[in-house]
Structure formats: C-alpha cells, structure tokens
Chain A
Amino acid sequence: MSTFADTTFTSPERIRNFCIIAHIDHGKSTLADRVLQLTEVLDERAYRDQYLDRMDLERERGITIKSQNVRLPWQIDGEDYVLHLIDTPGHVDFTYEVSRSLAACEGAILLVDAAQGIEAQTLANLYLAMEHDLEIIPVLNKIDLPAAEPDRYAAELAHIIGCSESDVLRVSAKSGEGVADVLDAVVLNVPAPVGEQDAPARAMIFDSVYDTYRGVITYIRVVDGKITPREKIRMMSTGATHELLEVGIISPDQKPSEGLGVGEVGYLITGVKDVRQSRVGDTVTFAKNGADEPLPGYRDPIPMVYSGLYPIEGSDYPVLRDALDKLLLNDAALTYEPETSGALGFGFRCGFLGLLHLEITRARLEREYNLNLISTAPNVVYGVTLQDGTELEVTNPSDWPEGKIQEVREPIAKCTVIAPSEFVGAIMELCQSRRGRLDSMDYLSESRVELRYTMPLAEIVFDFFDHLKSRTRGYASMDYEEAGTQASDLVKVDILLQHEAVDAFSAIVHKDNAYAYGTKMASKLRELIPRQQFEVPIQAAVGSRIIARETIRAMRKDVLAKCYGGDISRKRKLLEKQKEGKKKMKTVGRVEVPQEAFVAALSTDESAKEDSKGDSKGKK
C-alpha cells in the first residue's frame, strides 16, 4: 500500500518531527509499536513486539541504547501528514545524544506510567526538551492498570510542565486506547519544521550506527536545502568528504529515496566503516557549494569515567582487543588503550561516558564475544597541579604523581533524585556520606520528592546507584549531569600485599575516606586470600604512610595424614588439579591470589549481592 509518506521532499508544513521521552518500562516501545500498527507502516505479519528496540541486550535490559527512527503517514480530516518519530536513547550517560535527538524535533511526547509517575531521568530529559523549546505533549500510559492513578499523576505532570490537567492525554499503549489522539495532538500542537529550502544543504547527524553489511548508517535531520544521493558530502567538524552512496527514509526498514528536503528525517550511507567518521551532532553539507556555518551544538564525546578491563583468562587478551575494535565501530564515545597490571596482566584502560556506558560495554563484550572480564573500580578524570606548576590529567590511579601536589581538581555533577518522601532521610544520609551538597528539594506531589545535589562525580560512579537503590528499596530514580570541577583534598590509597602494591586495588579517594577505604579493602582481602605458607601482611598506604593493616596468618597444616597404597592415585590427581588451579592464581610478589579474590574484591558490595547492578529500572 503506497502512502503520502512514501515519497520525500514533502512540504515542511506537512511534517511533524517528534520524540518520546519516557522512563524505561513506562511503555515507550509499546507505544511506538502501536503507532507503527496504527499508521499501517508495519503489517501484522512483520509485527514484532517492541520492534524499535533491536539489540538483544536492549530487549533484555529494557534499555534503548541506540535509537531507531521511523517515518509515518497520518491523516487528519483528509489531510495528509508525515510524522517522523525520532527515538532517543534512554539513559543519563547519553545526555548529549539525547540532546541531539531533541534538536532534531519540534515536539516531544512526555510518556509517564500512570501507576508510577515521573522518574528522575525522564524529568532530566524533559527539562532538556524544554530547553530546546520543544512542544511537550504530556501522556499518561497504562491507564488500564489496576494500580493506575491517572488523576494524581496528571496533576503531577501539570505541575511540572505548567499546563492544565486536562491537557494530559490518557492512553493504554498496550490496548491502543487513546493512541490515535496522541498522533492527532502531535499534528495539531507540534510546530512544523522551518528551514531555508534554497540555502546550501545543512543536515544534523543525530545518530550513527555501524552495520556489518552496509557500513555506517547515519541518521540525519535536514535543516536547510536538500540532501541528494550520488554527490560528495562534507562533515563540517572534520572537513572529511565522502561519496554519498544512498539517501533514504525508514518506514520501518530502510528505503532509498530521491533525497531529503527541509525538515525531513532519514538516513545516509557513505560506505565509511567507523562511526567516528559520522559524529553525532555534526553537520552534513555538500563538498561543492556547501554551507559555511555548521549548525550549532556539536561537541566531541568526552569520556567521563575510566576503568581497566582485563580478561580473566590471560589468553583472551587478543579476543578482547578485537572485540573492542569492533565495538568502537559503533561507539564514538568509547576510548581504550592497552594497559598492563601487575596483578591482572594485560588489559585495556577504557574511557566511558558514564557508568551505564561502562556496564553496557562490559556486558556486550562478555555476551557477544564470550569473554570473562574483570573491571577495576571506575574512576573519573583528575586534574593535578604539582608544586612546580606542572599540570597533569590523571585517568588512572597508577599515573598518580609521586611528587608534591599543589592542587587536585575533580569533576562534579548535578545529581537529581526522585523518590517517595519516606526515603528522604535515607537519601540525604547517603548523599552526605558521598560529599554531596543539597541544592534544593521539591515536592512533586504530596508523597514524591525531588532532591538536587551537587556531588563529586567520583562518588556517583562508585556504586552510588546500588546504594541508592538498596536504601530506597528500588523506588528512587536518579540522573546526573556534569557541572564543572572543584578542588578537593584527594589522595591515592595503595593496597600492599606483603609490602608490594597491588595496582588493581589502588584508588583515589577523599582524604577523609582514605582510612575507610583502606580498612575495607584490607579486611576484604584478608577474607578472600587463602592462607599461605608464610604470614602475609595486607596494608593500606597513602604514600609511605601505612593507614591500615591486616594479617593473613601463615597456614599451619597442609598435609594429607594417610598416604598408603590406595591413596596414591587419588593424591596425585588432586595434585594435578591443584597445579591447574595454581596456574589460575595471580602471584603478587610471592603471594598467590586466586582470580576470584580479585573479582570479589573489585566488585562492589551490593552488586556482589544481587549481581544486577545494570538493572537501571527505577522501580522493581
């Protein structure tokens, strides 16, 4: 069936570009599915639940990592319209990507679960959308749930957006009830795109994805002029030029077109193999007669969190390297370089946008490449000034300078937590223990509170989510954004096994927390490392000063009492097994440390308990 939306160069007045802002689990994918069905873009046969979330990992964790975008036909009163639904990544770490998706839209559906209310990440993205002057269409989903409280949450949304409660649409994406009204509201309320048709082409890249067969697929929103195939294009941030092999729309699969006009959304293919060549936020223009000024808002992705990734089996190192090379094709924000740890062997120092980015990358490496990995405690980027004026950027505790330090600056973040008000005390206690400073507190409704803190990013990246979740029984949601740096009294704590520092356990912490970190690690290791034939001191040190000590007493008995005729084979087999086991031990000085001890010591308390740290769902 052919529709109005099948051909491009649609007049801008007939175009509406919008996205859906929602918390994970609040039904964004279901709504998108329903929209695809309602607009008959997807027939029943091809229908697959949550069509828009393609990656297995996304399906499993309910997180949209890479966005999908689709062009839809819609009619009101016999008038044809083209809707571009622009999907947004749903997590804090991808704030910049979200901002680019928002920049490609004129409107946003704010989708909120009628049984749960708005969550911190949603709120953050909503504020971002409002900053971009997007028209907000508030929608309560799941109104057919027995636990739904649409009146209560409509009031909450109205309070936040500053609209009337009656403006809040009520739908059930699952049943389809009210969905058509939402599309009508998009057409009626969202402004049409505006651009100069005759100006040199300018299109903004809001996403790019690596495809094994086609190379990089770049998603663009045309702002000015038109993008047509078989011409040379230029990426304005780098000046690199590429042959434009194909331009097309997505409905819901890729369909080549004659080009894209003002306000239109689609994809382009140039044959490049690396998403770094097609950076989110960049402006595409033509190599000949191109635009002079790029669109505003481009920014290089900057890693905020670093962690060492090591294969548990040393022989997997090449596999890990190849896997990172492949992930890099599809992840412009990931950085890595080889690193050697005395304790963990060969691995990579990796830079991530944030914790979730780290976790997703690690999970993908483990799942898609069948790797078993250890990751060292994540740390942020420190700016260190030495007394002689030298300035250093430290992304790895191993690189912490030995010399006299004049000042250390650490990144700070604005952190927003939304939770039922009964947990306010617990959250405040946690944030204070993490050097947080309360900026404001706001009751969203009688029973829900929004807390805003300024906190060192380092405190957030180190198991803050886990503690927040466990202290609020999973009811709190949080979001953070970087907010500059501050000077802090930071020190590096080393953990020494038999007087030898174990690099994997070194950490940069606030001076007041050094003792707590040192004693915690020392006592943890005392439990984890088996007794040796000699006494092993475990020490925590700041510089040359020992701040904590534990001792693993020497093993006293390790001998089989009976070794007669029939015991010998069994005993030899046991020896062989132990010999194999010994190979898996890492040796620090002369101390044999089982691999599991490293894993256990490096995993945070909470994640060790529930092993589901990556579960970012605000509620359970």
Chain B
Amino acid sequence: MSALPPTGEQPPERGTLPTTALAGVGQRPFGIYVHVPFCATRCGYCDFNTYTADELAGGGSFRGWLDALRAELDLGVRVLGEHGGPVPRADTVFVGGGTPSLLGGSGLAEVLDAVRSSFGLRPGAEVTTEANPESTSPELFASALEAGYTRISLGMQSAAEHVLRVLDRRHTPGRAVAAAREAMSEGFEHVSLDLIYGTPGESTDDLRTSLEAVLDAGVDHVSAYSLIVEDGTAMARRVRRGELPMPDEDVLAADYELVDSVLSKAGFDWYEVSNWARGEAARCGHNLGYWRGGDWWGAGPGAHSHVGGVRWWNLKYPARYAAALSEGLSPAVGREVLGAEDQRVERVMLELRLSEGLAVEALDEAGVAEAWRAVADGLLRADALRAGRCVLTDRGRLLADGVVRRLIA
C-alpha cells in the first residue's frame, strides 16, 4: 500500500455500488481484509497506514477501532445485499496491519467474531493473521487457533541482526523462527515467514543464513520481497542523505535467484512472483483472491476493497474513519469504477504474476503475437503458451512488469 492513495472519484456517501459490480457477487471468491492500524513502534522502511500509541489521539483506541470495524462490516453486508441476492460469506479472512498480534488473543478473537456476526464464514474458510515475532507467545497462538484462525504469517525479514537493525525491527534474530515453531506446536498447520532482501548492508551470506533459518523453522509458506524504499519514510531520507547505500538491480536479481533456488530445493514451489509454498494447500487463498480478480471487502482505516471491477479505499486516519462510520456514512474516501479495458489490463498485470499464469484469451491479437516473442526472448514458457497460458520462466519472473507492458501495448 502506498503512503498516497490513488486519485479516484468521490465515492457515494453510503458506499452504494453500481449494480454491474454487484452482479456475480458470491460466484467469485470473496475475502475480508481487516486492517489493524496499530504498531508498537514505526519501522524506518514502513509506509503502511499504522500508528503507535503515541500517535493516536482519543478516537484511535482499540475499542473505538473495533466498534468502527463492526459498523463497517455491517455497512458492507447492507451494500452487498442491495443486489437482492444472498450476501456472500467469506471464503478467506486476512487480518493485517500494522501489528495484529498487538491485539492479543482475545482481541484477535473479537475481530473474527465481528466477521462471523456480519458476513459470516464459509465452512473451511482460510483465516490468517499477521504477527510480529516479538509480540507473540504460545498462549497467543493457542487462543488464535481456538478463536478460529487457521494460518499465521510472521514478519521475519531477516535472520541477520545488523539487517534487522537497519530495518528497525525489534525482534532478535532467532525470535521469528521460534515463534513459527510455537505456532506450529500449538496446532497451526499453515505458517508463513516473510523475508526482505536487498536491505542496505545485507550480504549474500546474510540472505543465505536467513533462508536456512526459514527452512530450519519448518514452515510451509515463504514470502520474499526486495526492500522498497518508499518516499516519505525515514529510510528514504537516510538513503537520500547517502547514509544507506542501496543495492543495484543486478544484486537484487541475484538475491531473488538465490531465494528461489534455495526454496525450490527444499520443496517449495513459487506460485506468485514473491510467494512460495509447500503444496497447494499451503498457498495463501486470500492473496490468490487479489491476483485472480476476486471480490473482497477491506475493512479498517485506509483499507482497499474490490467488488466486481469497482475499487475503493477508506479514510486513513483512524479517528476520522471511526467518525464517518459513527454517522452511518461509508468511510470510503475514493474509488474507481473500472471499464472493460482497465479490468483486462489488471487481469494481465495480476494473473501473469502467478505460476498458473494468464489465459491467452485475455490478450488481444497483438498481445498474443507479443507473447510468442516473449517466448523467443526466454521470458514466457513455450509449452504453457502452446497450451493457451502465459506463464513466466524463471528469468521472466524477474522481468514480469516489462512482459506485462509488452502484452498490453
């Protein structure tokens, strides 16, 4: 998510959606994203919509936020019900942030209860919460499992202490792996660790150490992202002042290749450019919804939603978010209603990131011709394209954005 929301049109006061967007709701996968805007401290690289206790005035308390969240979920039920059909139950829930683990076991339970008593959960729904290693404990995992969570995603970032320090992370190098083990031993079948590579000062050995730690933890899912220095962050200022030397793209490419090769050897398969899982059941169903063009309601300050080609996003500041909902108004602050071509472009852009790839029907004639040229350039797989799908090769994954530009040109 960006520090700056995209520009869009003014959304309707009550959050009403066009009937075209509502058509087909319930037939597409439906997810709920809950944004927890709290952190113990702000990390230097982070531009997410999150606040420390000190930064939040009255309206931003946990209670205030939870009440507003309930109100928004109820509003969501009303809005999606306006098409007359049944309101969809959630296939997936993802509690992210911020630092959801700061809510504690009971807080997490209350959040999930709010979802249950509004949209409700489908049987077998995937329910993930993010967690920071330093704010977890066996007890937290036990109560989350008890409350109905099925998946834990831990922000590990690195196993190298000096790298964690540059990232302002508060946990010790071993803590993330320990937390993952605790989650699994409390009964979580699906645990993911997040890595960040390309942090200034990180060596290849540092990255290798982190990967070994990940494998050692025995988790079934890994996300790995190259560090993006977002404008407006403390880290961006340090980079600008020359205090932090940023690695160049070639180094980042080599890092990615290392991540992919280590994980592949250990039985992980990439299923999205930055995500690897051991087996299909280990993939994050909620995130797949984003990439496959599913519907989701993003609840909480600054959260983004998508239903049937309409994207909207909420007020970012928790107090203003809560105030809108307390007046019975939608907290959405901007939205865009996508035309057919925009939807097609998004589809190409998102589905191409997946190992299952993009159906060639999504391309126009020139796009198909370009796809074959991309095969010749070693960026798309020939066998897949012959079978009607655009699937990135290993090298193509690193150049995915360029391939997208070619396919939609």
A558 cross-chain contacts in B, Cβ below 8 A: 249, 398-402
Asked if A473 CB lies within 8 Å of chain B CBs, one says no
Asked if B169 CB lies within 8 Å of chain A CBs, one says no
Asked if B228 CB lies within 8 Å of chain A CBs, one says yes
Known interface pairs A533-B377, A564-B290, A565-B33; A559-B401 also in contact (CB < 8 Å): yes
Partner of A565, one of B304, B353, B399, B408: B304
Q: Using a Cβ–Cβ cut-off of 8 Å, how many residues does chain B contribute to the interface with A? A: 47
Complex-state Cα separation, A561 to B400, whole angstroms = 10
Whether A569 pairs with B405 at a CB distance below 8 angstroms is no
B291 cross-chain contacts in A, Cβ below 8 A: 563
Residues from 466 to 520 in A contacting B, C-beta threshold 8 Å:
none
Whether B287 pairs with A555 at a CB distance below 8 angstroms is no
Known interface pairs A566-B304, A579-B409; A533-B379 also in contact (CB < 8 Å): yes
Asked if B25 CB lies within 8 Å of chain A CBs, one says no
B408 cross-chain contacts in A, Cβ below 8 A: 575, 579
Asked if A557 CB lies within 8 Å of chain B CBs, one says yes
Complex-state Cα separation, A471 to B152, whole angstroms = 69
Q: Mark B110-137, 1 if CB is under 8 A from A, else 0.
A: 0000000000000000000000000000
Asked if A567 CB lies within 8 Å of chain B CBs, one says yes
Query: Closest residue to B48 on the A side, CB-wise?
Result: A566
Asked if A545 CB lies within 8 Å of chain B CBs, one says no
Q: Mark B291-328, 1 if CB is under 8 A from A, else 0.
A: 10000101000111110000101000000000000000
Asked if B67 CB lies within 8 Å of chain A CBs, one says no
B400 cross-chain contacts in A, Cβ below 8 A: 558-559
Complex-state Cα separation, A556 to B254, whole angstroms = 9
Q: Mark B391-406, 1 if CB is under 8 A from A, else 0.
A: 0000001111111110
Whether A557 pairs with B345 at a CB distance below 8 angstroms is no
Asked if B231 CB lies within 8 Å of chain A CBs, one says no
Residues from 1 to 60 in B contacting A, C-beta threshold 8 Å:
1-2, 6, 8, 33
Asked if B71 CB lies within 8 Å of chain A CBs, one says no
Known interface pairs A555-B402, A556-B249, A569-B6; A575-B273 also in contact (CB < 8 Å): no
Complex-state Cα separation, A564 to B290, whole angstroms = 6
Summed over the interface, the residue pairs from A and B with CB atoms below 8 Å come to a total of 104
Complex-state Cα separation, A202 to B408, whole angstroms = 71
A561 cross-chain contacts in B, Cβ below 8 A: 225-226, 228, 273-274
Q: Mark B206-238, 1 if CB is under 8 A from A, else 0.
A: 000000000000000000011010000000000
Q: Chain A's nearest CB lies how many Å from the CB of B300?
A: 11
Asked if A560 CB lies within 8 Å of chain B CBs, one says yes
Known interface pairs A556-B398, A569-B8, A575-B405; A563-B353 also in contact (CB < 8 Å): yes
Whether B402 pairs with A566 at a CB distance below 8 angstroms is no
Asked if A48 CB lies within 8 Å of chain B CBs, one says no
Complex-state Cα separation, A290 to B249, whole angstroms = 80
Query: Closest residue to B2 on the A side, CB-wise?
Result: A570
Query: Closest residue to B257 on the A side, CB-wise?
Result: A556
B290 cross-chain contacts in A, Cβ below 8 A: 563-565, 568
B287 cross-chain contacts in A, Cβ below 8 A: 564
Residues from 543 to 594 in A contacting B, C-beta threshold 8 Å:
555-573, 575-576, 578-579, 582
Complex-state Cα separation, A201 to B121, whole angstroms = 106
Complex-state Cα separation, A572 to B304, whole angstroms = 15
Asked if A534 CB lies within 8 Å of chain B CBs, one says yes
Partner of B274, one of A562, A570, A571, A575: A562
Query: Closest residue to B226 on the A side, CB-wise?
Result: A561
Whether A575 pairs with B404 at a CB distance below 8 angstroms is yes
Complex-state Cα separation, A582 to B401, whole angstroms = 13
Partner of B377, one of A534, A565, A576, A578: A534
Whether B311 pairs with A555 at a CB distance below 8 angstroms is no
Asked if B74 CB lies within 8 Å of chain A CBs, one says no
Whether A559 pairs with B405 at a CB distance below 8 angstroms is no
Query: Closest residue to A572 on the B side, CB-wise?
Result: B346
Partner of B399, one of A533, A567, A582: A533
Complex-state Cα separation, A490 to B217, whole angstroms = 71
Q: Chain A's nearest CB lies how many Å from the CB of B307?
A: 12
Whether B298 pairs with A565 at a CB distance below 8 angstroms is yes
Whether B349 pairs with A575 at a CB distance below 8 angstroms is yes
Q: Chain B's nearest CB lies how many Å from the CB of A419?
A: 42
Asked if B350 CB lies within 8 Å of chain A CBs, one says yes
Query: Closest residue to B49 on the A side, CB-wise?
Result: A566
Complex-state Cα separation, A226 to B160, whole angstroms = 99
Whether A566 pairs with B401 at a CB distance below 8 angstroms is no
Partner of B306, one of A565, A579, A582: A565
Complex-state Cα separation, A334 to B228, whole angstroms = 54
Query: Closest residue to A576 on the B side, CB-wise?
Result: B345
Complex-state Cα separation, A555 to B402, whole angstroms = 10
A556 cross-chain contacts in B, Cβ below 8 A: 249-250, 253, 398-399
Whether B350 pairs with A568 at a CB distance below 8 angstroms is yes
A568 cross-chain contacts in B, Cβ below 8 A: 290, 304, 306, 311, 346, 349-350
Q: Mark A336-359, 1 if CB is under 8 A from B, else 0.
A: 000000000000000000000000
Query: Closest residue to A574 on the B side, CB-wise?
Result: B401
Whether B399 pairs with A570 at a CB distance below 8 angstroms is no
Whether A555 pairs with B304 at a CB distance below 8 angstroms is no
Q: Chain B's nearest CB lies how many Å from the CB of A580?
A: 11
Q: Chain A's nearest CB lies how many Å from the CB of B269?
A: 18
Q: Chain A's nearest CB lies how many Å from the CB of B223?
A: 9
B2 cross-chain contacts in A, Cβ below 8 A: 566-567, 570
Query: Closest residue to B7 on the A side, CB-wise?
Result: A573
Whether A569 pairs with B304 at a CB distance below 8 angstroms is yes
Query: Closest residue to A578 on the B side, CB-wise?
Result: B405
Asked if B361 CB lies within 8 Å of chain A CBs, one says no
Complex-state Cα separation, A104 to B250, whole angstroms = 70
B250 cross-chain contacts in A, Cβ below 8 A: 556-557
Complex-state Cα separation, A533 to B342, whole angstroms = 25
A575 cross-chain contacts in B, Cβ below 8 A: 345, 349, 401, 404-405, 408
B298 cross-chain contacts in A, Cβ below 8 A: 565-566
Complex-state Cα separation, A570 to B336, whole angstroms = 11
A560 cross-chain contacts in B, Cβ below 8 A: 401
A557 cross-chain contacts in B, Cβ below 8 A: 226, 249-250, 252-253, 256, 398-399
Partner of B1, one of A566, A573, A576: A566
Query: Closest residue to B298 on the A side, CB-wise?
Result: A565
Known interface pairs A556-B250, A582-B409; A571-B311 also in contact (CB < 8 Å): no
Complex-state Cα separation, A376 to B353, whole angstroms = 43
In this complex, which of A558, A565, A573 has the most chain B Cβ atoms within 10 angstroms of its Cβ?
A565
Partner of A570, one of B6, B345, B353, B398: B6
A559 cross-chain contacts in B, Cβ below 8 A: 273, 397-401
A564 cross-chain contacts in B, Cβ below 8 A: 1, 287, 290
Q: Chain B's nearest CB lies how many Å from the CB of A537?
A: 16
Whether B249 pairs with A555 at a CB distance below 8 angstroms is yes
Whether B398 pairs with A571 at a CB distance below 8 angstroms is no
Complex-state Cα separation, A542 to B398, whole angstroms = 38
B345 cross-chain contacts in A, Cβ below 8 A: 572, 575-576
Complex-state Cα separation, A374 to B402, whole angstroms = 28
Those 8 A-B pairs whose CB atoms lie nearest each other, nearest first: A566-B1, A556-B253, A561-B225, A566-B304, A557-B253, A569-B6, A559-B400, A558-B402
Known contacts A557-B253, A563-B349, A575-B349; 17 further A-B pairs (Cβ under 8 A):
A556-B250, A556-B399, A557-B249, A558-B249, A558-B399, A559-B398, A561-B228, A563-B291, A563-B350, A565-B305, A567-B1, A568-B349, A569-B304, A570-B6, A572-B345, A575-B405, A579-B409
Which A residues are closer than 8 A to B by beta carbons? 533-534, 555-573, 575-576, 578-579, 582
8 residue pairs bridging A and B, Cβ less than 8 Å apart:
A557-B226, A557-B250, A558-B398, A558-B399, A564-B290, A566-B298, A566-B313, A570-B6
